Structures are given as structure tokens and as C-alpha cells.
Amino acid sequence: MAIYKNKKMLFLFLFPSMLLIGALIFLPVILNVYYSLFKWTAYSKSMKFVGLDYYVKLFSDKNVWSAFRNNALYAVISIIFQAILGLVLAYIINNIASKKIAVVSRVIIFIPAVVSITAIGLLWVIIYNPSIGFLNPILESIGLGGVIKDWLGDKSTAMMAVIMVSQWQYMGEMVMLYTVGLQNIPTELFESAKIDGANSLQTFFRITVPLIKETILMNVMITIIGAFMVFDEVYVMTSGGPGRSTEVLASLLYKTGFRQDNMGYACAIGVFMFVVTFIFAIVELKMYNVKETMGGGKNE
Amino acid sequence: MKRAWIKKVLSVGVATVMCVGMLAGCGSTEKTESASSSESSDAEDGGSSDGQITLKFVTKIPEDNRQKCMKEIIASFEESHPNIKIEQTAYGDEEIKDKLKVLLGGDDKPDIYFTWSGERLQGYIDEDLAVDLTKYLDDDAEWKDNFNQSMLETCNKEGSYYAVPWDYSSKVFFYNKEVFDACGITTAPTTWDEFLADCEIIKNAGYTPIAIGNQYPWVVCHWITTLNQKLVPADVLEANYNGENADFSDPGYAQALNMLKELLDKGYINSDVNSCTYEMSQSMVLEGKAGMIYDETQIMSKYDENAFGTFDFPEIEGEAGEAGYVTGGPDLYCVNTSCEYPDEAVEFLKYLTSVEAQQKIVKDIQFMPVVDGAATEETATANAISIINKNQEAPGVAEWLDCVLNQTVANEYLVACQEIFNGTSAEDLMQSISDVASGEY
């Protein structure tokens, strides 16, 4: 189409969004790096230049690294449940289950993803509670009374308890994304595989997975980046506690800036989070060959 | 031809709507004309047109009954001062800890705002966000003298007063009379040993002796405030708290944490202490599942006097600190230095701390007053009056630990208040607090 060749029109159409993205995303990131070089609070009238002091502090701060480990744990569990099990679930619903069951299951699995995180967090605080929640009584009734714990109050279980709530909430979204990818695979391939005598497992690994490689990659990256930026679930359910067992980088950043009145250090933590997620994003872009996919789409 | 023309008009129209939509979204950053900021611009040129002054007032009392009381106080002030309008916004206890700082640093600055005492107030003074009220107090000796002086003194930093107290809260044990009767306990404990013995009796009878909801660690922090004050010599405490001495190595500190650990280990506290919310712990006592709770006098109205009794924190044998102190702190109001009408703001503060308004808060919401003559037979129950009088005569106030300490150190102490139940040793926790206190912050 002629419009793609007309550079002036291109620029005109892109300009408003570029302006918005620049002002709302790039500018704050740059300002954040600038502000991390000063000592200031949310309500201070002046800022004191400290240079790279906060970055030096960051690398030796055990709280930052234990938060980083929590984020890494979050990422690993999320990949297993969302990126991998999400695919398996999507495959089962799409290819194995009957149409009716498929439609109903997709809706049920997806519902948590559209409910507000705060509401879900508060709901699970009650569910996990040993006195008034229903999780422990259910475990007892199916004979698992031995594993009962104070899920959110015991530092050995708190982080996993919070992570599992995220998985419950977002698996539905992943199933949806994978379903879109799965439905793009031509059914003839599955039919000919069936004729050739392949069972579900072989079909899954030899046909499905290679064909939705890009979707898998994209979902893994979304999951990892999300795991390093997680804030809401943690803050609503445990606020980083008990002690610091569920502290993640984002909640540490928040408390450093607004409770400890150390905005400069909070900005440095923010820059650290940006660098980590940026590295993952670059890796993804390198692996996800944009040109080939786009080019492929246009010619067919 | 007509179709092409309609198409053109439509596309231009849609494009315009989209651009306007985008600008409306950015509009709130410009202060002049957009609707969202008209309120703040009104307040700023509030005095110009017809002498009408608007003061922005930030409080910490969003609960329904407290809001009703405050609105009535504001209404009667506005009646007697028709040229002043008070715009109140209330935030919750956890929320205001972050929200107020953002408000003070942003464009929508409050004229009169709530704060706790101690380092929280000092932070605002350091940033020149609180007006020096000393001359207003000196000019009105009657107003100044009528205050509970130890509460007023919490507003005194380096010889000048930067806030006035409005009410205060102190800690006291509330106990469920039915539970105590069922366990055969007839008198409230006065010493720590008696307290532990009572806990054992209650536990054996099948109830939870003490309910603690430490999801937000300020709850246990209040216990530590009391224990520290009783176990650590006064001068050592003072030096550690005001930052002179960063070494929290006095054995009293570790002993305080260990006493709480002991309560958990012996089964005297609900086992889900770190995930139980404050509200849940109150319900446990209200419903008769637990026997006692160390709660605030500010929430006294929740515990009906016929069903619940009170007793003070027991004295500990061999305590190195001072006895008889009140654990608590005032709620203060400051006038922002950016306020254009400080005289009118002080007028409002005078009204809030007048005997009339103070009697109202005692009567309507059972708050503790900061002026003499507010707690009378008409306004308060006998129990409340005895608590107020006892507090008046107390030799001193142990202010909330998370307010008195520098905020970075306080944060570390709050973590310790949960970590002690996680199994970390008290000595290790006090060491990390000392480390943070001596580090650069």
C-alpha cells in the first residue's frame, strides 16, 4: 500500500504514540537514573548529590539480593506453571477435550485473570488463614492434615504460598494465549499425524511444540519479566513479611522510598530492576526473529 | 461524491476526538484549566474574590463514626467562622504513612495535616514543612496551659513547638470477662509472673490466652515499646532512640524480644501470629475465643465495659527501666509552611483543642483528650476517666517505637518484630538493628 512508503504520513501517524511513550515511559526511566544519584525523600525540598553511592550500597546489600532470589524463584515457578503447564493445559483443552468441555473449561480457568489482583490477594489471605480459612480444613478432610501450616505467617511457606496464588490467577491468561497459537496450526497436520498412527504425546512434541515455538518463547519472556516486576500480590498478601521472607524487588523499592524515606536508593533499586528486565527483553528480541515472522505472514 | 465527503468528515472527526482524548489524559499535569485541578487552584486563590478561605485538612480517621464526629466539629467551626471553609480528607492508618509524604511533596499540599510524634514529626520539621507555633502558644497562655503538658512536650523540638496534640492513644490490656470467669481468674494480673500463670490457666481451659494480629508488625512493636521502656535503663534508652548511641547492646532489648518468643513457644499466643490481621485478633477476643489483647484506648468503644475489663501491662521483676510509664502517643496536627493563612489555620487548631470539641471526642468516639476538663462524668465512663487520670499522673510517656526511632532503624526493628517469631535469635536481631543504626542512612 502506498501509505507505508510515504514517510511523512508514517511519521504523522506514529507521532502521537511516540510522544506518549516517550513522555510516559522513556522520560521517567531516564529521570529515575538521574534521581538515583541524589539523596532525597518524597517530601524534601532539596536533593543532595551522592553520585554512585547507592549503587555501591546496592551490590553489597543482602536485602536486595534476598529479594532478587525471591524474584528468581517467582520466575522459575511461573515458567513451570504458566509457560509449560499452561501449554499442556491448552493442548488438552484444545485437542483432546470435547468442544463443550473445552469452552466451559477455558472460561472457568480464565475468570481469575480478570478479577482485580487486590481482591484476589485479600481473598487468599482469608483462605490461607489457619483459623477462618477453608484451605486447612479441606487438607485435613482429604487426609493431608500433616502438611497444615500457617501458610502466610510461616517464613518457610510464605513465598511459595504467594507465588501459587499468582499461578492460579494467570494460568488462564496463558491458556488463552496458547489457544490462539494452537488454533493457528492447520488441522490437516493433526489429521495426517493421526492417520500415520501418532498418539497424543508424539503429536504434542513433534508437531505442536515446534509450530508454536515463538508463542512459547514470548510467553516465557512475559512470565520472567512479570516475575521480576511483581508487586501487587506480595504487597497485598504479606507486605514483604513475615520478616523479609516474601520481600521482592518491587516491594523493597516501595518501602525504601516511602517508609524509609530514602527515595534515592529506591531509584537505584528501580534502575537495577530495569537493567535486569531489559537484559531479558534483549535476549528475547534476539531469539524471536521478528523479520522472519512478519515477512512470512505477509507473503502467505 | 457525497459518500467520499462524509467519509472525510468522519475520519477528521474521529481523529479529533482521539487527539482530544489524548490531551485530556495529559491535562491533569497542567494546572490552569482542566477540571481535575480546579479544586486546588480554587484553594490557592481562595482568599482573593470574596474573603472566603479554604483550608485543606488531612486526617487519619476514615472510620464512619469518627468521620461523623469530625464533620460535626468542622461544621460548628464553620458556623462561627463563616469566612473559613475546611476541606477534610481522611486516610487510613497504613495508607497515610505513604500518602501524606506524597501529598507534602506534590502540588496538592495540605494546609493542616496529621502526624505522629517523634522522628515522624522531626522529618517534617527538617524539611521545613511545619510552622513554628511557639508564638501562637505563648500569646494564648490559657490555651497552652490547658494542654496535658507531657503530650504537648512531644511537639517541642529544640525549644519550639511545631504541632499541637489533638488526642492521644495509650495501650492497655482488654480481657474478656466471660473467658476469665470460665477459667476461674478473679483478679487481673499485676506482675509478669502472675500474667504468665494466668496464661497457663487460660490455655489449659482451651482458650487462646493472648490474641496478637501481627500481619502489620506495628502490633508487636507496641509490645516492644512497653517492654523496652521497662527493661532498659532510661538514659541508655534515650541515647539509643535519639541516635546518639547506635549500639543496641543493652541486654534489656534482647530480653524484650525473648519474652515475646517465650509467649509464643509456651502456646500463650495464637500460632498464626505473623499472618493474623489486627482486626482478626480483636474478633478473637470479642467472640470469646481468646482471653486478652494488648490494644489501644482509642478503640475502647469496641470493648463494651460490661463484658470486657482492662488492666495495665504487668510490672516485671528486676526491671531496669522506669515503672509506671504510659505507652502511647499523641496524634498531632501541624500547619504546613505553604499554608497561606496560618492564623486561620491556628484558629481551627484552637477550636479542635478547645474544651468543647475535646469533650465531644471523648463522648462520641471515646478518644483520649489532651486538655483538662474534657473527661467528665457526662462525657466519659468511670473506667475511661480512671485511665485518663492515671495517664495524667504517669511519670512519663513511652512513645511508639516506630515513631521515636529514625525511620530506617524503625523499619529494621519492625522486621525484627516479625522475625523473632520466625526463629531468628533476639541477639542476632538486635545486632542487625545496631548495624543499621550505625550505618549511613
Q: Concatenated DSSP letters for B213-247?
A: -TTSTHHHHHHHHHHHHHHS-HHHHHHHHTTS---
Q: Which residues of B touch A262 (CB under 8 A)?
A: 408, 441
Closest chain B C-alpha to A86 CA, distance in angstroms:
30
Whole-Å CA distances, A202 to A187, A196, A197, A205: 16, 11, 10, 5
CA distance A232 to A248: 11
Mean pLDDT for B251-273 is 94
Give the chain A residue whose CA is nearest to the CA of B270. A131
Q: What is the spatial distance between Cα B261 and Cα B428, in angstroms, rounded to a whole number?
A: 14
Whether B101 and A238 lie within 8 Å, measured CB to CB: no
Q: Does A261 lie at the interface with B, CB-CB under 8 angstroms?
A: yes
Contact call for B104 and A43, based on CB within 8 A? yes
Where exactly are the structural domains of chain B?
51-169+329-394, 170-328+399-438
Radius of gyration of chain B, Cα coordinates, nearest whole angstrom: 26
Average the pLDDT over A251-269 and give the result: 93
Domain B51-169+329-394 is of which CATH architecture? 3-Layer(aba) Sandwich (3.40)
Sign of the alpha-carbon torsion through A45, A50, A52, A58: negative
Q: pLDDT tens digits for B175-223?
A: 999 999 999 999 999 999 999 999 999 999 999 999 999 999 999 999 9
**Is the pLDDT at B33 greater than 70, yes or no?**
no
Does the pLDDT of residue A297 top 80, yes or no? no
- Count the helix, strand and coil residues of chain A and give each as a percent rounded to the nearest 5: 75, 0, 20
More confident residue, A78 or B29: A78
| Integer CA distances (angstroms), A236 to A43, A126, A231, B333, in order | 25, 12, 8, 29
Which of A185-199, A220-234, B226-240 shows the lowest per-residue confidence on average (mean pLDDT)? A185-199
Q: Which amino acid is at A54?
A: Y
In this predicted structure, the answer to whether residue B73 has a pLDDT above a threshold of 60 is yes
- Evaluate whether the domain defined by B170-328+399-438 bears CATH number 3.40.190.10: yes
Whether A132 sits inside 8 A of B22 (CB atoms) is no
DSSP tag of A38: E
Are the beta carbons of A16 and B418 separated by less than 8 Å? Answer: no
Instruction: Say what the pLDDT of residue A38 is.
Output: 94
The CB density around residue A234, as the number of other CB atoms within 10 Å, is 30
Q: Which three cell numbers stand for residue A29?
A: 526511566
pLDDT for B85 equals 95
- Residue from B311, B292, B305, B289 nearest B212 by CA: B292
With contact defined as beta carbons under 8 Å apart, do B207 and B291 qualify?
yes
Provide the pLDDT for residue A203.
84
How far apart are the C-alpha atoms of B203 and B269, rounded to whole Å?
9
Alpha-carbon gap: A117 to the closest alpha carbon of chain B (Å): 18
Banded model confidence at residue B37, pLDDT cuts 50, 70, 90:
very low
Determine the distance in angstroms separating the CA of B357 from the nearest CA of chain A, rounded to an integer. Answer: 31
> What grid cell was written down for B358?
475535646
Strand ranges (E), chain A: 38-39, 48-49
Q: Of A187-201, B50-64, B135-149, B397-411, give the lowest mean pLDDT range.
A: A187-201
Q: Which of B18, B408, B424 has the CB atom closest to A262's CB atom?
A: B408
Contact B274 A154 (CB under 8 A): yes
> How do residues B110-143 score in pLDDT, each as one tens digit?
999 999 998 889 999 999 999 999 999 999 999 9
Chain B residues in contact with A264 by the CB 8 A cut-off are: none
Average pLDDT of the residues in A229-252:
93
The answer to whether the Cβ–Cβ distance between B105 and A245 falls below 8 Å is: no
Burial of A188 by CB count in 10 Å (0-12 exposed, 13-18 middle, 19+ buried)? Answer: exposed
Q: Which three cell numbers stand for residue A25?
A: 515511559
Nearest Cβ partner for A43 among B26, B105, B272: B105
Write A62-66 long-range contacts (CB < 8 A, 24+).
A63/A244, A63/A247, A63/A252, A64/A249, A64/A252, A64/A269, A64/A272, A66/A244, A66/A247
Cα–Cα dist B149/B254, whole Å: 32
Question: In the block, which residue shows the cell 478473637?
Answer: B284
The shortest CB-CB distance from A255 to any of B26, B411, B419 is to: B411
**pLDDT band with cut points at 50, 70 and 90 for residue A293:** low
Q: How far is CA A235 from CA B367, B407, B420, in A?
A: 31, 19, 21
Least confident of A209-213, B56-60, B275-279: A209-213
Q: Phi-psi region for residue B86, left (φ > 0), alpha (ψ -120 to 50) or beta?
A: beta
List C-alpha distances in Å: B12 to B2, B8, B25, B186, B268. 15, 6, 20, 84, 73
Q: What is the pLDDT of residue B43?
A: 41
Largest CA distance in chain A: 75
DSSP designation for B371: B
Q: Rounded to an integer, what distance in angstroms lies between the CA atom of residue B314 and that of residue B131?
A: 40
Domains along chain A with CATH numbers: 46-299 (1.10.3720.10)
Put simply, the answer to whether A42 touches B217 (Cβ < 8 Å) is no
pLDDT bracket for residue A19 (50, 70, 90): very high
Q: Is the Cβ of A61 closer than 8 Å to some Cβ of chain B?
A: no
The residue among B305, B196, B211 whose CA lies nearest residue B259 is: B196
At A151, list the grid cell: 501458610
Q: Which residues pair with B294 in a beta bridge?
A: B173
- Give the DSSP letter string of B277-295: -HHHHHHHHHTTSEEEEEE
Nearest to A243 among B276, B419, B440 (CB): B419
- How many Cβ atoms are within 10 Å of A74's Cβ, its own excluded? 27
What pLDDT, on a 0 to 100 scale, did the predictor assign at position B20? 81
A135 Cβ under 8 Å from any chain B Cβ: no
- Cα B411 to Cα A32: distance, rounded to the nearest angstrom: 24
> Prior bond to A130 cis, omega within 30?
no
- State the average pLDDT over residues B275-299: 93
By the 10 Å C-beta count (0-12 exposed, 13-18 middle, 19+ buried), A284 is classed as middle
User: Do B424 and A241 make contact, defined as CB atoms within 8 angstroms?
Assistant: no
List the grid coordinates of B175.
480481657
Interface-testing mutation among A19, A122, A261, A265, with chain B (most B C-beta atoms within 10 A): A261
Average pLDDT over residues B372-400: 85
| Better-scored residue on pLDDT, A249 or B13 | A249
Q: Which residues are CB-neighbours of B204 under 8 A, at least 6 positions away?
A: none
Predicted TM-score (pTM) of the model is 0.84
**Cell of residue A163, nine digits:** 507465588
B275 to A155: CB separation less than 8 angstroms, yes or no: no
| Cα–Cα distance, A233 to A162 (Å, whole number) | 7
Q: How many residues does chain A have?
A: 300
Tell whether the model's pLDDT for residue A146 goes beyond 90.
Answer: no
Query: A233, A232, A230, A228: which is closest to A273 by C-alpha?
Result: A228
Size of interface A-B (CB pairs under 8 A): 107
pLDDT averaged over chain B? Answer: 89
Tell me if residue A133 falls in helix, strand or coil.
Answer: coil
Chain A residues closer than 8 Å to B129 by CB: 43
A178: Cβ contacts below 8 Å, ≥ 6 apart: A86, A87, A90, A91, A212, A215, A219
pLDDT of residue A39: 93
Common-topology check for domains B51-169+329-394 and B170-328+399-438 = yes
Say if the Cβ atoms of B411 and A259 lie within 8 Å. Answer: yes
- Chain B CB contacts of A242 under 8 Å are 214, 274-275, 418-419, 421-422
Contact A43 B271 (CB under 8 A): no
Buried b (16+ CB within 10 A) or exposed e, A46-69: eeeebeebbeebbeebebbeebbe
**Nearest beta carbon to residue A45 from set B18, B127, B216:** B127
Residue B30 pLDDT:
41
Distances A127 to A123, A162, A229, B319, B370 between C-alpha atoms, Å: 6, 12, 25, 42, 42
Cross-chain Cβ contact B280/A131 below 8 Å: yes
Q: Are B405 and B433 in contact (CB under 8 A)?
A: no
pLDDT at A158 over 80: yes
Is the pLDDT at B25 greater than 70? The verdict is no
Of the pLDDT bands very low, low, confident and very high (cuts 50, 70, 90), residue A292 is low
Mean pLDDT on A231-251: 92
Which residues of A, range 223-252, sit inside 8 Å of B by Cβ? Answer: 238-239, 241-245
Greater model confidence, B340 or B51: B340
HSE of A67, CA atoms in CB hemisphere, 13 A: 31
Question: Is there a contact between B215 and A43 if contact means CB atoms under 8 Å apart?
Answer: no
- Predicted pLDDT at A132: 84
For residue A100, what are the contacts with CB-CB under 8 A and spacing of at least 6? Answer: none
